[in-house]
Amino acid sequence: MPRRGGRDIELVHLACHTSGLPRLPKGLMPRGMFAADPYAGCTEAMLLDGLARTRLRATPGHRFRYSNLGAGLLGLALARHREVGYDELIQAEICRPLGLADTRVHLTGELSARLAPGHSWSGRPRPGWRLGALAGAGGLHSTAPDLLRLARATFGDAPCELAEAVALTHRTGHRLRGTSTAHPGWIGFTRAGLPILFHNGGTGGYRSILAVAPDKRVAVAVLSADARSVDRAGLGLLSGLVPA
């Protein structure tokens, strides 16, 4: 692993995007930038070999810099620690305890048939992305009902060990500008004194956002099968649902 300023990258740095790692793996750009499936070749060997040639942009723990590479490495590290695949890890630790039957990396059978085809900004069909060893950066497929079950876990409605883990993500963070904070898995901010957590993102022809106001037990999940952002729709709906 690369180092800077005499500091090693820790798991919390990967989780809060303060590792100093670049956004994408070494060797992916510019070859994969315009590819239909840009992450398909991201094997463990490619990622780990590239790390030895990667220069950190900042000392670990000092500065927020969103990194798909860091998020993917976090998923890979946790899976290797348990000696299972990332999909199997998520199923065992999160999906089965919370009853998320439609959330997984690899879709087969009925789940594959139910996947909405993705589209570009102009409405043209887009193939889905395969994130390979970077699955921790956005390789999970899900549904709105499953995401709302996940949101309920942020309210404390989860088995004991998961509830403790969720509470830890709320307590752990790196302060950004203003009232914003980078938490493990979330970006947090305060609106009219109310804490809000959200995460957005997109792959290929898809966009999504999950936003929650834990203190009010309100959550919004928006999933779209085209490349246009759903951030304004999701956060606007959350604001309308939160009691004044």
Residue 30 is predicted with a pLDDT of 53
Of 177, 182, 93, 79, residue with least CA distance to 135: 79
Contact 238, 190 (CB under 8 A): no
Q: What is the pLDDT of residue 35?
A: 75
Question: How many Å apart are CA 181 and CA 212, to the nearest integer?
Answer: 15
Q: Which one has a higher pLDDT value, 173 or 242?
A: 173
Q: Where are the alpha helices (DSSP H) in the chain?
A: 11-15, 44-51, 68-82, 86-90, 96-98, 109-114, 144-154, 160-171, 231-241
Is there a contact between 18 and 64 (Cβ–Cβ < 8 Å)?
A: yes
Q: What pLDDT does residue 238 have?
A: 95
Confidence of residue 166 (pLDDT cuts 50, 70, 90): very high
Whether residue 244 is predicted with pLDDT greater than 60 in this model: the reply is no
Say how far apart CA 209 and CA 200 lie, in whole Å.
4
Q: What is the mean pLDDT of the chain?
A: 93
All structural domains of the chain, each given as residue ranges with its CATH number in brackets, are 11-241 (3.40.710.10)
178-200 mean pLDDT: 93
* DSSP secondary structure letter of residue 164: H
pLDDT average, residue stretch 59-65: 96
Q: What is the pTM of this model?
A: 0.92
Q: Do you know the residue count of the chain?
A: 244
pLDDT at 209 over 80: yes
What's the confidence (pLDDT) of residue 208? 97
pLDDT at 155: 94
pLDDT at 32 over 60: no
Q: Are strands 125-126 and 174-175 parallel, antiparallel or unpaired?
A: unpaired
Rounded percentage of the chain residues whose pLDDT exceeds 70? 97
For 81-95, write each residue's pLDDT tens digit.
999 999 999 999 999
